[in-house]
Structure 1
Amino acid sequence: MLAKRTYTTTHPWITFDLGSEKFSPQTWMLLGEATSKAKHIAGVPLAPAAAKTLYQVFLAKGARATTAIEGNTLTEEQVVAQVEGKLHLPPSQQYLQQEVQNIIDACNVLVNSLANGGPKKIDLEFCCSLNSMVLKNLELESGVNPGEIRHHSVVVGNVYRGAPPEDCAYLMEQMCAKIEEIDSVGEDRQHLAILTALFSHIYLALIHPFGDGNGRTARLLEYYILLRAGLPQPTGHLLSNHYNMTRSKYYSELDKISKSGGETRNFVSYALQGFVDGLKDQIKYIRNEQINVTWTNYVHGLFEGQKGVADLRRRALVLQLGLQKEPVKISELMDMNVRTAREYAGKTDKTMTRDINLLEDMQLIRRLPGRRVEACKDIIKAFLPWRAKHQDAA
Structure 2
Amino acid sequence: MKIIIEKYPHISFLPKWELKEDTVYELGQCDAIIKAIRNIPIRPEYRKVLLNVSLTKGAQSTTAIEGNTLSDEEVEKVNEGIKLPPSKEYQETEVRNILNALNELLREVAIYNKFEIISPDLIKRFNYLVGKDLGDHFQAIPGKIRDCNVNVGTKYRPPDYHDVGPLLKQFCDWSIKEFHFSKGQNFKDSVIQAIISHVYIAWIHPFGDGNGRTARLLEFYILLRAGNPDIASHLLSNFYNETRNEYYRHLEKSTKTGNLSDFLAYAIKGYRDGLNNILELTQVDQFKTSWANYIHEIFRTSKIKSKNENLNKRRRNLILSIPIFKKFTIDEILNLTVDIAATYKILSQRTLTRDLKELINLELLRNEQDKYWANIDLLLSFFPKKLNK
TM-score scaled by structure 2? 0.91
Could you tell me how far apart the structure 2 residues matched to 1:143 and 1:54 are? 34
Superposed CA offset, 1:132-169 (max 9, x none) = 11112224368611111101111112211112111112
Question: Where does residue 313 of structure 2 map in the other structure?
Answer: 312
Conservation of the 8 A alpha-carbon contact between 1:18 and 1:199: no
Q: Which runs of 5+ in 2 are unaligned?
A: 302-306
Distance (Å, rounded) in 2 between the aligned partners of 1:174 and 1:103: 27
Higher deviation after alignment, 38-47 or 327-336 = 327-336
Question: Is 2:97 the partner of 1:98?
Answer: no
Counterpart of 1:110 in structure 2 is 105
Aligned residues: 382
Residue aligned with 1:161, SS: coil
* Cα drift, residue 6 of structure 1: 4.1
Letter in 1 for 2:150: V
* Residue aligned with 2:367, SS: strand
- Counterpart of 2:304 in structure 1 is none
Opposite residue 121 of structure 2, the aligned amino acid is: E
Q: Distance in 2 between matches of 1:88 and 1:303?
A: 47
Distance in 1 between the 2:368 and 2:145 partners? 64
Q: Deviations over 1:96-122 (max 9, x none)?
A: 222111111100000111122511232
Asked if the contact 2:117/2:181 (under 8 Å) is kept, the reply is no
Superimposed CA distance per residue, residues 194-226 of structure 1 (whole angstroms, 9 cap, x where no aligned partner):
011011101001001111111111001000001
Letter of the 1:8 partner, please give it.
E
Shift of the alpha carbon at 1:315? Answer: 0.8
Alignment partner for residue 59 of structure 1, among 22, 46, 55? Answer: 55
Contact conserved, 1:190 with 1:226, CA < 8 A, in 2?
Answer: no
- 1:7-156 equivalences under 5 Å are 7-9=5-7, 11-20=8-17, 22-85=18-81, 87-114=82-109, 115-140=111-136, 144-156=140-152
Alpha-carbon displacement from aligned partner over 1:239-282 (angstroms, at most 9, x marks no partner): 1111111100101101111211x111010011111111111111
- Percent identity between the aligned chains? 36
Report the alpha carbon displacement of residue 16 of structure 1 after superposing the two structures with TM.
2.0
Pairwise mapping of residues 270-289 of structure 1 onto structure 2 (< 5 A)?
Answer: 270-289=266-285
Letter of the structure 2 residue corresponding to residue 211 of structure 1:
G
Distance in 2 between residues matched to 1:265 and 1:24, nearest whole Å: 8
The secondary structure found in structure 1 opposite 2:234 is helix
8 Å Cα contact 2:139/2:209 also seen in 1: no
| Structure 1 residue runs without a partner (length 5+) | none
Indicate if the aligned counterparts of 2:41 and 2:286 stay in contact, CA closer than 8 A: no
Query: Aligned-pair distance for 1:349?
Result: 1.3
Q: Please state if 1:244 is matched with 2:241.
A: yes
Is 2:220 aligned against 1:226?
no
Instruction: State whether residues 140 and 208 of structure 2, in contact with CA within 8 Å, keep that contact through their aligned partners in structure 1.
Output: yes
Q: Provide the C-alpha distance between the structure 1 equivalents of 2:292 and 2:89, rounded to a whole number of angstroms.
A: 42
Q: CA RMSD of the aligned region, Å?
A: 2.2
Determine if the alignment matches structure 1 residue 322 to structure 2 residue 323: yes
Q: CA deviation at 1:35?
A: 1.8
2:377 maps to: 378
Aligned counterpart in structure 2 of residue 174 of structure 1, from 170, 175, 178 = 170
CA contact (8 A) 1:39 1:231 kept: no
- Inter-CA distance 297–4: structure 2 relative to 1 (3 Å threshold): closer
CA offsets, 1:80-103, max 9 Å, x none? 333333x44321122222211111
Read off the aligned partner of 2:105 and give its amino acid letter. Answer: L
Q: Structure 1 residues 328 and 78, CA, compared in 2 at 3 Å: closer, same or farther?
A: farther
Question: Quick check: 1:55–1:234 contact (8 Å CA) kept in 2?
Answer: yes
Q: State yes or no: 1:200 paired with 2:201.
A: no
Match of 1:209 among 206, 209, 218: 206
Do the aligned partners of 2:55 and 2:233 also contact (CA within 8 Å) in 1?
A: no
